[in-house]
Amino acid sequence: MMNLLEVANLKIWDRSTGKVIVSNSSFQVKQGSCLAIVGESGSGKSVTCRAVMRLNQAGLLESGDILFNGENLTRLSEKEMRKRRGKNLCLIMQNGMRAFDPSCVVGVHLKETLAAHFGWSSGEITAKMKHAMESVMLKNPIELMNKYPHQLSGGMLQRVMIALAIVLEPDIMIADEPTTALDTISQYEVIAQFIRLRERMGCSMIFISHDLGVVRKIADEVLVMKDGEIVESGTTQAIFSAAEHEYTRYLVSTKLALNQHFKRIMGGVHVDPR
Ligand SMILES: Nc1ncnc2c1ncn2[C@@H]1O[C@H](COP(=O)(O)OP(=O)(O)O)[C@@H](O)[C@H]1O
Ligand SMILES: [Mg+2]
Here the CATH number for the domain that contains residue 226 is 3.40.50.300
**More reliable by pLDDT, 205 or 246:** 205
Position 48 in a domain: yes
Question: Among 11, 20, 21, which residue has the most ligand 1 atoms within 8 Å of its CB, making it the best to mutate?
Answer: 21
Task: Say if 170 falls within a structural domain.
Answer: yes
Residue 162, in any domain of the structure? yes
CB 95 within 8 A of CB 44: no
CA distance 93 to 251: 23
In a domain, 272, yes or no: no
% of the chain with per-residue pLDDT over 90:
55
In this prediction, residue 271 has a pLDDT band, given cuts at 50, 70 and 90, of very low
Cα 139 to chain centroid distance, Å, stands at: 24
Q: Please check whether residue 65 is in contact with residue 101, taking contact to mean a CB–CB distance below 8 angstroms.
A: no
Of the pLDDT bands very low, low, confident and very high (cuts 50, 70, 90), residue 248 is: confident
Residue 38 is assigned to a structural domain of this protein = yes
Residue numbers of the domain that contains 33: 3-266
Give residue 192's pLDDT. 84
Res 268: pLDDT: 43
Q: How far is the CA of 28 from the centre of ligand 1 (A)?
A: 22
Whole-angstrom distance, CA of residue 43 vs CA of residue 75: 26
Q: How confident is the model at residue 50 (pLDDT cuts 50, 70, 90)?
A: very high
Cα of 126 from ligand 2 centre, angstroms = 33
Whether the predicted model's global pTM rises above the 0.85 cut: yes
**Vertex 57 angle, CA 52 and 181, to 5°:** 75
- Let me know how many helices (H) and strands (E) the chain has, helices first: 10, 10
**Nearest ligand for residue 45 CA:** 1
Q: Ligand nearest 47 Cα, by number? A: 1
- Distance (angstroms) between ligand 2 centre and the Cα of 128 equals 31
Domain count of the chain?
A: 1
Which strands form 20-30's sheet, in the order they lie side by side?
A: 20-30, 3-14, 60-68, 71-72
Contact 251, 224 (CB under 8 A): yes
Rounded alpha-carbon distances, angstroms, from residue 64 to 10, 19, 239: 4, 17, 26
Asked whether residue 194 is assigned to any structural domain, the reply reads yes
Cβ pair 19, 44 in contact under 8 A: no
Pocket test for ligand 1, best of 46, 174, 176, 177 (most atoms within 8 A of CB): 46
Q: Which ligand neighbours the alpha carbon of 40 most closely?
A: 1
pLDDT band of residue 179 (cuts 50, 70, 90) is confident
Residue 165 has pLDDT above 80, yes or no: yes
60 lines ligand 1 (CB under 6 A): yes
Residue with the smallest CA separation from ligand 1 atom 8 is 47
Assigned domain for 271 exists: no
Distance CA 176, CA 5 (A): 17
The verdict on residue 59 lying in a domain is yes
Q: Most confidently modeled of 14-23, 111-120, 229-238?
A: 14-23
